[in-house]
Amino acid sequence: ELQRLDPDIALHAREFVDCWLYASGLTKRYLEGLRRAGLEIGADSESAVAAEPVPAAASHPANEAPVAAPEVSAGMTPPRGRKGWIAAVAAVIVLAAAGVWIARSRTAAAQSTAAGPATQPIRSIAVLPLDNYSGDPSQDYFAEGMTDELTSDLANISQLRVISRGSATQFAGKNRPPTPEIAKKLDVDAVVEGSVIRSGDKVRITAQLIDARSDRHLWAKSFERSSKDVLALQDELASAIAREIHVTLTPDEESRLTKARSVNPEAYDAYLKGRYFFNRPSDDNLSKAIAQFEEATRLDPAFAPAFSGLSDAYLWAAFNEGVLTASEAKPKAKAAAEKAIQLDDGSAEGHTSLATYKTWFEYDWDGSVREYRRAIALNPNYAFAHDQFGLSLAYQERFDEAIAEGKRATELDPLSPQIPIDNVLALVRKQDFRAAKAEAARSATLDPTFFFAPFMQGWIELQMGRVRESIPWFEKARTLESPPFVAAWLGYAYGESGDRERARAMMEEVSKASLHGYVPPFNLAIVHLGLGDREKALDGLEKAYEADSQWLIYLGGDRTFDPIRSEPRFQALLTKIGFAGRSSPLK
């Protein structure tokens, strides 16, 4: 049956087995397992396996037959005992199943080739989480990192719309939905799936390209390099995919995919661990992410992505102020972003990091716009750049542009729970409260454990003048894993609604949630405002400015501050952050 499906099944099966058995050094362990199951293995087979080289090439040229597999069966005698026969039969079933899969995939690919190219071009793609085939669960972060980096490489191709890693991650594991269903949820034409094996200083990625609309296998290939050349491996794979779907690369894109530098393997490993923790940004994980990024920059001071990742981690930590204070993080975030660009001016991530720093810390609106536009020109598929650019534009009261950037970010990362949260600001400022609530609700659907979704629902209620209705939302957010500012806003809502006792309880909770004895003054200021103590609220806001709080950026368009908006001290603060003369957005 296998030969009927594929007359060259022996050669093709060898290519498949290479990917997970011979190349990973598992052959001897496999034979040892069979021996323990009762199989007798002759010395000739043992010698053949011992002499078997690990393939150095990524794949076999079309006109070159793969090296023949060792004749293991020639030196074997039938297994003794029932357990031995079970092991042998199980091995045959596994290999036969693999053979059927290979044969049918080859047959389908051959039929599709014979029928001519797809009638519909592939212009959107998602990289599904690559499976960790290293046999070690502690290497999961490495497989995730390889997925992330391949996604980033493809995202640099301007003719492709590439779904961000965050959305594709939803389909990790063996129980992922059928490919057409995934394609529909992500709105893509094709998906890439595959596996990663790291053995010693060798890394091998096996990938296949599937037309998601018809669930048709188009192409499969393996790529192998040493750990120091892992960046080149990813570039090679991205280039191969681009060729397969007939995407034309610009000269700059071609250059970036053919000039990958070598990287210190240990530094790259630390960088991947940093991204792994950063993608799960609790205070504890942000602390771990910062430590890993710092280690990566120490081991390889010329590795630009590590500095960009470090800047992003500092910026997020500064917003929460649970790991670093904003004042501690500010100079570090700037230095890391500038270093990333100095090392690689073509880094979209580096320019985005610097733009985000300029927005949240320097209120340099023109400078941030330039940096965001530069980042998007370098990588139009970088969802984080579109997302943060949309926020920056909203603060500048360029609402239509902000909404457009938010929509683009959503297209690129449709399953991200953070992007809908960031889309809320411009919608509220345009007084489209229904759409704003829908975005917050979408975030909650995507991640019911994410505190920001109910928090933003509460904040929307405040902007609508519905203080009492905001309280249940803030209370719900506080029950989730949330930073102290959630309790501060809840304290404001309690105080503004007349429940002074509960407001003071939140004030006490906020005061106890200190970092090395430091309590973010903005958190205290917002509770004082709810209690009607305007002078203490203004004192706290001025201290927050001196402490580099990122929350000052909200002063320009948040109606919560209307009671003190006409105060000279408040107007002076607005001038300092580039919002001079702004009145309440809802008046």
Per-residue pLDDT at 516 exceeds 60: yes
Residue 111: the pLDDT is 47
The predicted-structure confidence for 98-150, as pLDDT tens digits, reads as follows 555 555 555 444 444 444 444 578 889 998 888 888 777 777 878 887 888 88
Residue 333: the pLDDT is 96
DSSP 8-state secondary structure symbol assigned to residue 579: -
Residue 10: the pLDDT is 63
DSSP 8-state secondary structure symbol assigned to residue 250: P
Under DSSP, is residue 304 helix (H, G, I), strand (E, B) or coil?
helix
Q: Give the number of other CB atoms < 10 A from CB of residue 8.
A: 11
**Token pair of 396, please?**
């500048």
User: Which stretch of 90-94, 243-247, 406-410 has the lowest confidence by average pLDDT?
Assistant: 90-94
Cβ(521)–Cβ(547) under 8 Å?
Answer: yes
Residue 141: the pLDDT is 79
Residue 73: the pLDDT is 38
Q: Could you give the CA distance from residue 371 to residue 385 in angstroms, rounded to a whole number?
A: 10
How many residues in the chain?
Answer: 587
**Token pair of 243, please?**
């060729």
Cβ(204)–Cβ(24) under 8 Å?
Answer: yes
Band (437; pLDDT cuts 50, 70, 90): very high
Which position has the higher pLDDT, 518 or 167?
518
Band (185; pLDDT cuts 50, 70, 90): confident
Residue 168: the pLDDT is 81
**CA 190: distance to chain centroid?**
19
User: Which stretch of 23-27, 173-177, 455-459, 520-524 has the lowest confidence by average pLDDT?
Assistant: 23-27
Indicate the average pLDDT of the chain. 82
Per-residue pLDDT at 536 exceeds 90: yes
Cβ(349)–Cβ(275) under 8 Å?
Answer: no
Residue 247: the pLDDT is 84
**Angstrom distances, CA of residue 208 to CA of 64, 271, 317:** 20, 26, 38
**Angstrom distances, CA of residue 102 to CA of 20, 59, 67, 458:** 14, 15, 18, 54
Which position has the higher pLDDT, 199 or 330?
330
Instruction: List 206's β-bridge partners, or say none.
Output: 195, 222
Cβ(428)–Cβ(463) under 8 Å?
Answer: yes
Residue 113: the pLDDT is 44
Per-residue pLDDT at 93 exceeds 60: no
Instruction: List 192's β-bridge partners, or say none.
Output: 127, 209
Per-residue pLDDT at 408 exceeds 50: yes
Among 213, 174, 173, which residue's Cα sits nearest to residue 191?
Answer: 213
Burial class for 46, CB neighbours closer than 10 Å (0-12, 13-18, 19+): middle
**Angstrom distances, CA of residue 358 to CA of 149, 353, 366, 406, 493:** 26, 9, 9, 19, 31
Under DSSP, is residue 193 helix (H, G, I), strand (E, B) or coil?
strand
Residue 75: the pLDDT is 40
Burial class for 109, CB neighbours closer than 10 Å (0-12, 13-18, 19+): middle
Q: φ, ψ for residue 125 (rounded to 5)?
A: -150, 155
Residue 65: the pLDDT is 36
**Token pair of 464, please?**
């609508």
Could you give the angle at the alpha carbon of 324 between the alpha carbons of 320 and 327, nearest 5°? 95
Residue 264: the pLDDT is 83
Residue 455: the pLDDT is 97
Residue 217: the pLDDT is 85
Which position has the higher pLDDT, 25 or 221?
221
Per-residue pLDDT at 354 exceeds 70: yes
Q: Which of 37-46, 239-248, 316-325, 348-357 has the highest mean pLDDT?
A: 348-357
Which position has the higher pLDDT, 142 or 52?
142
Per-residue pLDDT at 373 exceeds 90: yes
- Where on the phi/psi map is residue 65: left (φ > 0), alpha (ψ -120 to 50), or beta? beta
